[in-house]
Amino acid sequence: MKVAVITPYYKESRAWLTRCLDSVAAQTHACTHIVVADGHPQDWIDQREVRHLRLDRAHADYGDTPRALGGLMAANEGFDAVCFLDADNWYGPRHVESCIALAQRGDFDYLTTKRHMVRDDGSILPLRIREDCDGSHVDTNCYFLMRGAFHTLARWTLMPQPMHVFGDRVYLASLLDEGLRTACTEQRTVHYLCTWAHLFRAVGETPPDYAKEPRPVEDLPRWYAALSPRERQLTQRLSGMPPPGPRAVPQASPEKAHVQA
């Protein structure tokens, strides 16, 4: 299976990017790494065994536009699967291999994986995200898209600007509404650098300098409710997200953590 990993980056440090790139290079199943600069290219990346694309400006959408463009390019070039890895995160060595093993067991459109919440030193935070555990939330880095889902790639960039902060929630809602066939590896092969202050506090730690507070999920339905009927129609077309309802993003509960025993 021919797999492309798409990494958008903005102004992340060389250390973070190196860790990300090294994890893709170390995959037990060889894949092509497409790294997309969102307006702030770092020339040293040209020396790595990756495809380095440069966008001439930043798009202020949490990497969604470079993510979509890299994915669409891979789809056009005949790749069998596309997955995403943000510049501050990294994969375990068997991430791609485990996805392929599951893909070979059924006729799936896309797969998902699980993630560890980790500190910058690589150590794992002793917590689990309830939404991650029950599948009601899938982080961007945990998708493994196959040809049956390639038509959804453009949604990452086409969704209206206020949706991008909740992009992975919007995207999952669109996939569920469409009824695409999926499965989960149930393996925590994504190492997600925790940048959420409330999660550090949940385990009794002082948040690091790079940590931030989350935006309330309730912001999205409030924005949607204020749209005109025509704007709602366009929003649904561009994002693939269904109108607010039992399965839609606006009904999702805020991300909550529980500390491991």
Give the model confidence (pLDDT) of 30-61 as tens digits: 999 999 999 999 999 999 999 999 999 999 99
CB 154 within 8 A of CB 171: no
Helix residue ranges, H only, the chain: 14-25, 64-76, 95-103, 130-134, 155-158, 167-178, 197-202, 219-225, 229-239
Q: How far apart are the first and last CA of the chain?
A: 39
Structure confidence at residue 257 as a pLDDT band (50, 70, 90): low
Measured CA to CA in angstroms, residue 219 lies from 118, 137, 237 at distances of: 27, 17, 20
Joined together, the tokens standing for residue 92 give 């375990």
Domain ranges of the chain: 3-259
CB 192 within 8 A of CB 128: no
- pLDDT reported for residue 247: 41
In the DSSP assignment, the letter for residue 91 is: E
CB 12 within 8 A of CB 42: no
Residue 258 has pLDDT above 60, yes or no: no
CB 126 within 8 A of CB 205: no
Joined together, the tokens standing for residue 93 give 């060595």
CB 79 within 8 A of CB 149: no
- pLDDT reported for residue 260: 46
Sign of the torsion angle spanned by Cα atoms 97, 98, 99, 103: positive
Please tell me the distance from the alpha carbon of residue 239 to that of residue 193, in angstroms, as a whole number: 27
- pTM, rounded to two decimals: 0.93
Joined together, the tokens standing for residue 6 give 């798409």
Burial 25-44 (b: 16+ CB within 10 A, else e): eebeeebbbbbbbbbebbee
Q: What homologous superfamily does CATH list for 3-259?
A: Spore Coat Polysaccharide Biosynthesis Protein SpsA; Chain A (3.90.550.10)
Closest CA to 117 of 137, 94, 146: 137
Question: Which amino acid, residue 13?
Answer: S
Measured CA to CA in angstroms, residue 60 lies from 3, 67, 138, 165 at distances of: 27, 12, 22, 10
Joined together, the tokens standing for residue 74 give 């891979």
- pLDDT reported for residue 234: 98
**Residue 244 or residue 200, greater confidence:** 200
What pLDDT, in 10s, does the model give residues 172-218?
A: 999 999 999 999 999 999 999 999 999 999 999 999 999 999 988 88
Would you list the DSSP string of 209-225? Answer: TT-BPPPPTTHHHHHHH
Closest CA to 109 of 73, 143, 156, 140: 143
